[in-house]
Amino acid sequence: MGKYIVKRVLQFIPVFLGVTIILFAMQNIVPGDPIKLIAGERQLDPVTERNIRATHGLIETDENDNIIYDENGDTIETPMWKRYVNYLGDLLHGDLGTSYQRGTAVTDIILQRYPYTLQLAVVGIIIEAIVGIGAGIISAVKRYSFWDVLVTLATSLLVAMPAFWIGMLLQLIFGVWLHVLPISGVAGPIAQYPAWMYYILPAITLASVSTAYTARIMRSQLLDVMNQDYIRTAKAKGLSKGAIIRKHALKNALIPVVTYVGMDFGAMLAGAILTETVFSWPGIGRETYVAITQRDWPIVIGMVTCIVLVVMIINLIVDVSYAFLDPRIRLGSSKSES
Amino acid sequence: MIYPVHQQPGAAAHADAVAAEHGGAAVAGAKSRTLWGDAFNRLKKNKLAIAAVVWIIFVVIVAATADLWVPQTLGDPTATASDNMAGMSRLAPSLEHPFGTDTLGRDVLSRVIYGARISLVVGLVSTGISTLIGLVMGALAAYYGGIWDTIIMRLADMFLAFPYTLFVIMMIAVIGNGIQNVFIAIGILGWPQIARVFRSAILSVKENDYVDAARAMGASDVRIITRHIFPNSVASIVVYATMNIGGAILTESALSYLGMGVVPPDPSWGTLIQDGQQYLQTQPWLMILPGLAILSTVLAFTLLGDGLRDALDVKMKDA
């Protein structure tokens, strides 16, 4: 077991390095001098410009942050590979750099925005787990019934809808027509509704499509397990259908579902650009999107680093608990099919 | 949200192929003895899949012939403010304008029809790109194994570790807005899934005696892959690619909604929804109708994919 965890952790290191190298490569391809993004239309005097370049690590400095000049008295541009090494070093110290446009530390922006994403993800995953697993169980237990048809139909429709459109339909129905829930934003000082109400529509939107997938996986897993020999044995023993499902079938059928829901929680923690845009939700998805359009690379890289780390840690926890739940993986061959 | 790992049709489709080879894939009442003939016979019995095919053909014909009749009957979909149609701004749906008109007085149905062109082309072209890259990568990984397998599969992990929407948006930010770039971005980012499906399909076919036999007869690697392995794993690729088209259409609509897709005044279903969002309170149909276009088309591709999976998959059929 310990060996398995170590192996998974070691596998993440090259993936993480790869992702961040891709990020740096992208930054290098995009045209545009960062200094123009910082200064905008203003003309900077050379000294200020040099200092800004030095603070963002764009030109070489010595240990005391003094700018190094070459023999012609020009500044030396830091090569991309060296900036990448510096980035990794700073990352180990919890420093993600400073935003070009706003001049604030990226870690501060993350700390300010991440709680909104986290709260939305928690509400979303609760909805997904309860509704998805519940619908899947009902649909499998009462196979071919009205409820099964309803769940199958609803999941087929949901996975074919753009999530942002689902969000707008919810706004239309509950905000515009019924006037029971706020249309967008978070509760401010003069909020019209109690604070918790602002979470409902964005969380449903965030969870909608994956709830449909959860229900589908739950249904097919449970149907699959019900065909197994040990279920037939339980039936032969004379156990009631309810007892068989509760005591024997669900345990095994739930493993892949829990894996999916867990991985989806990681995806939700990565921020939801579309949901956050539709509902003007101040999470990291929207923030990252705005930073991308503004070419504010320190924010983009910092946010993506943070997101990728969170996603990887969640996936690791899911993988390990999967191995813990399923002895075939824990004790079986060391095959690392991911 | 994330897409779950698709049920891989590879192994079962392979069983089908082997069974067909031995003449064992008999379907009651069907004469055909080939894999595709049997599959077609089964698909014909699936009413949902047939309805999906009919809808896809309808959308394709309407979109392809749009130039011949849409501007004449419904109006120019790309008229600008200078065309002075402000008097017709945001009319409710009527016989003359079945989907109503937008702020500039343009007919929304005409814009939805032209948007279908964008969506269909994005769906097909980007799926084509993903499939091509995925096939090559999957074949390299599975057939040569060892270090190739490790490198390619770890590369696939990297692509999948990146949150998808974010990755597409960053790609677009790097290569610039515009519809060609949307093809490229969605196409490039879609390869890891196809590569995984093809890889596992190959791995299940590769161990067969007929592959050894071909090798013993001196067939080259390329010949073995293209003549023996590919035909026996193509079923899973076809199913996956069909479903992927719907996914690509959804991604394009999201990009256009964010303003990173088509360049105005060209219409796309995503931009139509974005335009309509402002009038949610007063003219909600501006947002609802383009969404229904996306829903029906993506649903059709999903149902067709489901139908193909069932039709090509004897084992699941019997279960």
pLDDT of B3: 60
Residue A2 lies in a domain: no
> Is residue A336 within 8 angstroms of chain B, CB to CB?
no
The domain in which residue B9 lies consists of 5-30
Same domain for B23 and B44, yes or no, is no
The whole-angstrom distance between B234's CA and the closest CA on chain A is 22
> Quick check: B3 contacting A, CB < 8 Å?
yes
Q: How confident is the model at residue B137 (pLDDT cuts 50, 70, 90)?
A: very high
Whether residue A337 is predicted with pLDDT greater than 50 in this model: the reply is: no
Residues A90 and A128 in one domain: no
| Residue A170 near residue A278 (C-beta atoms within 8 A) | no
pLDDT band at B299 (very low <50, low <70, confident <90, very high): very high
A281 has a pLDDT exceeding 70 = yes
Same domain (yes/no): B209, B225 = yes
Please indicate, yes or no, whether residues A164 and A251 belong to a single structural domain of this protein: yes
pLDDT band at A32 (very low <50, low <70, confident <90, very high): low
Q: For residue B85, what pLDDT is reported?
A: 63
Residues A73 and A183 in one domain: no
Contact B275, A292 (CB under 8 A): no
The per-residue pLDDT of chain A, averaged, comes to: 85
User: Which pLDDT belongs to residue B19?
Assistant: 43
Q: By the 8 A CB rule, do A280 and A185 touch?
A: yes
Subunit contact A274:B281, Cβ cutoff 8 A: no
d(CA A271, CA A281) in angstroms, rounded, equals 10
DSSP-based three-state secondary structure for B319: coil
Residue A253 within any structural domain of the chain: yes
What is the mean predicted confidence (pLDDT) over A23-42? 73
Spell out which residues of chain A touch residue B169, defining contact as CB-CB under 8 Å. 273, 289, 292
Q: Are residues B12 and B151 in the same domain?
A: no
Q: Is the pLDDT of residue B11 over 60?
A: no
∠ CA B9-A336-B194 to the nearest 5 degrees?
Answer: 35
- Record the tokens describing residue B301, joined without a space: 């591709």
Rounded Cα–Cα distance for residues A174 and A280 (Å) = 17
What confidence score (pLDDT) does residue B32 get?
Answer: 62
pLDDT > 70 in chain B, percent:
85
Q: Is A206 on the interface with B (CB under 8 A)?
A: yes
Whole-number pLDDT of residue A134: 95
Q: What are the structure tokens assigned to B47, written together?
A: 């009413």
Residue B229 has pLDDT above 90, yes or no: no
State the best of B166, B171, B277, B309 to mutate against chain A, taking most chain A CBs within 10 Å.
Answer: B166
| A26 within domain boundaries | no
Do residues A218 and A328 both lie within one domain? yes
Model pTM score: 0.85
Is residue B106 located within the same domain as residue B10?
no
Q: Which residue has the higher pLDDT, B76 or B272?
A: B272
pLDDT at A254 exceeding the cut of 50: yes
pLDDT number for residue A41: 66
pLDDT at site B230: 79
Whether B136 is covered by a domain: the verdict is yes
pLDDT confidence of residue A322: 77
At residue A168 the predicted structure's pLDDT band, cuts being 50, 70 and 90, is very high
Per-position DSSP letters for A135-163, written without gaps between them? HHHHHHHTTTSHHHHHHHHHHHHHHTS-H
A137 and A72 co-located in one domain: no
| CATH number for the domain that contains residue A294 | 1.10.3720.10
- ipTM, two decimals: 0.84
Q: Are residues B259 and B128 in the same domain?
A: yes
Of B153, B253, B280, the CB nearest to A171: B280
Domain termination site, one of A80, A103, A126: A103
Confidence label for B25 from pLDDT (cuts 50, 70 and 90): very low
Q: Cα–Cα distance between B319 and B303 in angstroms, integer?
A: 20
B56 vs B92, higher pLDDT: B56
Instruction: Say how many Å lie between the first and final Cα of chain A, rounded.
Output: 17
pLDDT-derived band at A329, boundaries 50, 70, 90: low
Q: Of A162-166, A189-193, B16-20, B220-224, which gets the smallest average pLDDT?
A: B16-20
- Nearest beta carbon to residue B277 from set A23, A162, A168: A168
Average pLDDT over residues B271-279: 90
Question: What integer is the mean pLDDT of A26-49?
Answer: 72
User: What are B107's strand-pairing partners?
Assistant: B101
In this structure, the answer to whether residues B22 and B77 fall within a common structural domain is no
B317 is a domain residue:
no
pLDDT value for A334: 46
Give the Å distances, CA to CA, from A197 to A129, A156, A200, B52.
20, 28, 6, 39
Confidence of residue B16 (pLDDT cuts 50, 70, 90): very low
Q: For residue A194, tell me if it sits in a domain.
A: yes
B113 and B86 housed in the same domain: yes
Cβ contact, residue pair B258, A213, below 8 Å = no
Chain A residues whose beta carbon lies within 8 Å of the beta carbon of residue B303: 156
At B240 the pLDDT is 86
Residues B48 and B26 in one domain: no
Contact (Cβ atoms closer than 8 angstroms) between residue A110 and residue A190: no
Whether residues B219 and B113 share a domain: the answer is yes
Distance from CA of B260 to the nearest CA of A (A): 9
Same domain, A60 and A182: no
Q: Is a pLDDT exceeding 50 seen at residue B17?
A: no
Give domain status of residue A171, yes or no.
yes
Q: Is A330 found in the same domain as A228? A: yes
Interface A–B counts its CB contacts (< 8 A) at: 136
Domain stops at, among A81, A103, A125: A103
Residues A174 and A250 in one domain: yes
Residues A113 and A83 in one domain: no
If asked whether residues B11 and B94 sit together in one domain, one would say: no
Range from A63-72, A93-102, A254-263, B82-91 that averages highest in pLDDT: A254-263
- How sure is the predictor about A31, in pLDDT bands with cuts at 50, 70 and 90? low
Q: Is pLDDT of B145 > 50?
A: yes
pLDDT in tens, A106-118: 999 999 999 999 9
Q: Do A288 and B287 touch (CB under 8 A)?
A: no
The answer to whether the CB atoms of B273 and A165 lie below 8 A apart is yes
pLDDT band at B31, cuts 50/70/90?
A: low
Can you tell me the mean pLDDT for B288-303? 94
Q: For the residues A294-316, what does the mean pLDDT come to? A: 86
- Indicate whether B319 belongs to any domain: no
Q: For chain B, what is the domain count?
A: 2
Closest residue in chain A to residue B280, using alpha carbons only: A172
Question: Are A198 and A87 contained in the same domain?
Answer: no
How many domains are there within chain A?
Answer: 2
Distances (CA, A) of A98 to A33, A87, A214, A298, B95: 16, 12, 40, 6, 57
Asked whether the beta carbons of residue A274 and residue B258 sit closer than 8 angstroms, the reply is: yes
Q: Does A289 touch chain B (CB under 8 A)?
A: yes
Q: What per-residue confidence (pLDDT) applies to B20?
A: 43
Query: Residue B85 corresponds to which tokens in the numbers above?
Result: 């149609």
> What pLDDT is recorded for position B14?
43
B17 and B128 assigned to the same domain = no
Q: What is the pLDDT of residue B2?
A: 61
User: A161 and A64: one domain?
Assistant: no
**Is A180 within the bounds of a domain?**
yes
Q: Are residues B12 and B126 in the same domain?
A: no
Task: With a cut of 90, say whether residue A240 has pLDDT above it.
Answer: no
Say yes or no to pLDDT of B26 above 50. no
Residue B110 CB neighbour total at 10 angstroms: 24
Reference A50, options A39, A40, B164; nearest CA is A39
Identify the domain containing residue A282 by its residue range: 107-337
A209 and A83 in a single domain? The answer is: no
Q: What is the pLDDT of residue B88?
A: 73
Residue A176 has pLDDT above 60, yes or no: yes
What value does the mean pLDDT of chain B take? 81
The larger pLDDT score, comparing residue B139 to residue B84, is at B139
